[in-house]
Amino acid sequence: MQTIEGPRAQINRLLYSLISDERHHDLQIIDTRELKHREWAKWSMNYASPTEENAAIYLKYSTTIGFNPYLLNAESAHGLMNELNAQKG
């Protein structure tokens, strides 16, 4: 799961590039919104796999025993990203 922030034109170019890239499969956009400021400015291409420290966060947003980001709605995905970002400090 990725969250991309930035000017609309740059985001559109990036999305077109990702969709055209055969390394990316099953790309799904679950939410778009206008932002007045970046929400995750301190978090640049970070990978947050489930660990002992954040297991409770993943469990809170999981709809199954194993975490499956494809099952998250936009609100849950946003909440998960906010909590992981807050944990990062």
* pLDDT classification of 45: cutoffs 50, 70, 90: low
Determine the average pLDDT of the residues in 55-63: 86
Query: How much is the mean pLDDT over the chain?
Result: 85
Q: Are 15 and 52 in contact (CB under 8 A)?
A: no
Q: Which residues contact 34 (CB under 8 A, 6 or more apart)?
A: none
Long-range contacts of 50-53 (CB under 8 A, 24+ apart): 53/87
In the predicted model, is pLDDT for residue 80 greater than 70?
Answer: yes
- Helix or strand run (H / E) with residue 66: none
pTM of the shown model: 0.72
pLDDT at 22: 92
What are the structural domain ranges in the chain?
Answer: 8-35+48-87
Q: Are 34 and 6 in contact (CB under 8 A)?
A: no
Determine the average pLDDT of the residues in 16-32: 90
